[in-house]
Amino acid sequence: MAAERLQFHEMGLDDRLLKAVADLGWSQPTLIQEKAIPLALEGKDLLARARTGSGKTAAYAVPVIQRILTSKQSVREQDVRALILVPTKELGQQVQAMIRQLTAFCSRDVRVADISGKADLSAQRPILMEKPDVIVGTPSRVLAHLNAQNLLLHSSLEMLVVDEADLLFSFGFEADLKNLLCHLPKIYQSFLMSATLTEDVQALKELLLHNPVILKLQGSQLPDSNQLQQYSIKCEEEDKFLLIYTLLRLQLVQGKTLVFVGAVERSYRLKLFLEQFGIPACVLNSELPVHSRCHIITQFNQGFYDYIIATDEQSLANPTAAPQAAAGKGKKKKNSERGGKNKDKEFGVSRGVDFQNVSNVVNFDFPVTVESYIHRVGRTARADNLGTALSFIAHTELGLLSEVEEALTGENSESVLKPYEFKMEEIEGFRYRCRDAMRSVTKQAVREARLKEIKQELLNSEKLKTYFDDNPRDLQLLRHDKDLHPAVVKPHLKNVPEYLVPETLRGTVNPLSGRRKRKKMDKPQPEGVMKSSFKKNIRGRNPLRSFRYSGGRSGNRRGKTGKS
């Protein structure tokens, strides 16, 4: 017998919190929220595993806010009562935004501060001196403030939350986390939230939790095939570019799409390649500041871009693994390491970033671990939305595919990743166009595209604004530096001649071109402009063949001379 679902108003929550939940449009709690919130309000320690997009953030944020509201009825002193540790700056901003939404009607009683950014410790100190009720930050940043005595937790802390716990270890936060625990009181309530329960998470459980309730809510770490369709197609390096061009240019993939690659340099290569065909995409580059990355995500969520090209945390945790295993090109280790030096280790795309309404995930380079595959694909088919995941598999990536299929198939005999039925021979006509485009995407073009983006960041930097005010000559030098020479875009590549489109796909493409023609025909002509009969002449007869020279008289109408 299935029990009735517990509703938010039956959990004993503050009216202001219930009003905020209603404003967010949450008609009923998700499974993780239904199970975790009542247990957390009872004071239990929790270890919860639930897949990405299942509502884990609210599952701990709601009881944290409720407990603070309850304690403030008896204790008037302002102090830090909750600490939320996150692995990435992007997730820190997302958590802070969620808590602010939930405290919309009690913001005076529950204040939250996110210290996960890259600002100087001294700049964040005034925020901490006000003793916000909830602090969100990465372990390294929180520890730095504790060591600088900008933050004291040993007497006031009541709750500790570790979000995306399994990712903290892959980002190298183990030592920071252990050092941080020395600054905490002996008794506090703990929540561990994770998409996977790795050995590292089990070790963390021993450190932080006391007789915890363990919630394993989904047997599968990804939605079932009714909600998420997963496909794979075997193709080598050149075919990957040919296939992504065909899928996007012919709009066989529709809706917001995340394209994952193995390295940042490869992101720019793919971006420049797509630009040759008039397909706009943006790169989520870990080398750029957090505000710039969040701005790109906001633009993506608002519909300015349909395609984001990104790496995930695996290529940052081990910069040499992803390009070699995913691209299968055996690049020099030295180059890979050099490419990873300036990357922000507290940056992760496949998790911890609030992408909204993602319809498709394309693994241009296959992820090097099962966990990475789960977190990438978990960006789509969130909540009740449908989603599709398509993975390109080179022969060097077949072993990785087998690992993922084995992990996801479990007891089912049927494979989760279905073969993507696509006949590559039908798009051979596009191959010469792709090769033509790739000739323009040189190493120099990729390097200069990255340099151009960094140069733009320098010009837009708020931190450098004062410096440029004092040194205007440096600003002029930066603005008038030598022109960059990114990939030369060849205009003819933007158009798709109909004779190149496979017959099986023409039904998909023709309606689009038909709509464009109708729009042009229906477009109202501005007043005073005569409609040209040139198009009629083209359809009927060749105007050059029917042209008759009428001698000098006709020329006199135009001017003094009648010469042709």
User: 479 vs 201, which has greater pLDDT?
Assistant: 201
* The most confident of 110-114, 176-180, 198-202, 225-229, by mean pLDDT: 110-114
Predicted pLDDT of residue 488: 64
Give the DSSP letter of residue 492.
G
Lowest mean pLDDT among 220-229, 234-243, 270-279: 220-229
Predicted pLDDT of residue 183: 93
Q: Give the tens place of pLDDT for each residue, 324-356.
A: 333 343 443 334 333 444 455 554 444 446 677
User: 50 vs 351, which has greater pLDDT?
Assistant: 50
Find the mean pLDDT for residues 439-444: 88
User: 455 vs 17, which has greater pLDDT?
Assistant: 17
- Is the distance from CB of 456 to CB of 285 less than 8 angstroms? no
Grade residue 286 by pLDDT with cuts at 50, 70 and 90: confident
pLDDT at position 526 over 60: no
pLDDT at position 524 over 60: no
Say what the pTM is: 0.60
Lowest mean pLDDT among 107-111, 215-219, 309-313: 215-219
Give domain limits for the chain: 8-216, 228-332+341-498
Predicted pLDDT of residue 449: 83
pLDDT at position 179 over 60: yes
Report the candidate in 436, 500, 418, 503 with the shortest Cα–Cα distance to residue 234: 418
User: 283 vs 362, which has greater pLDDT?
Assistant: 362
Lowest mean pLDDT among 190-194, 394-398, 439-443, 452-456: 452-456
Find the mean pLDDT for residues 361-385: 87
**Domain spanning 228-332+341-498: which CATH class is it, in words?**
alpha beta
Predicted pLDDT of residue 144: 93
Q: Give the tens place of pLDDT for each residue, 473-508.
A: 776 765 555 544 556 666 667 777 777 777 766 655
Predicted pLDDT of residue 398: 93
Predicted pLDDT of residue 311: 84
The percentage of residues in the chain with a pLDDT greater than 70, rounded to a whole number, is 73
Separation of alpha carbons 360 and 357, rounded Å: 9
Predicted pLDDT of residue 379: 85
User: 383 vs 512, which has greater pLDDT?
Assistant: 383
Do the domains spanning 8-216 and 228-332+341-498 agree at the CATH topology level?
Answer: yes
Grade residue 39 by pLDDT with cuts at 50, 70 and 90: very high
- 8-216 maps to CATH 3.10.50.30: no
Separation of alpha carbons 156 and 136, rounded Å: 16
Grade residue 203 by pLDDT with cuts at 50, 70 and 90: confident
Predicted pLDDT of residue 344: 53
Q: Report how far apart, in Å, the C-alpha atoms of 178 and of each of 152, 160, 181, 186, 203 are.
A: 16, 14, 5, 14, 11
Instruction: Give, to the nearest 10 degrees, the angle between helix 264-275 and helix 431-440.
Output: 120
Q: Give the tens place of pLDDT for each residue, 97-151.
A: 999 999 999 999 999 999 987 778 889 999 999 999 999 999 999 999 999 999 9
- Phi and psi angles of residue 80, each rounded to the nearest 5 degrees, phi first: -80, 120
3-state secondary structure 178-239: HHHHCCCCCCCEEEEEECCCCHHHHHHHHHHCCCCEEEECCCCCCCCCCCEEEEEEECCHHH
Find the mean pLDDT for residues 447-468: 75
- Is the distance from CB of 16 to CB of 26 less than 8 angstroms? no
pLDDT at position 555 over 60: no
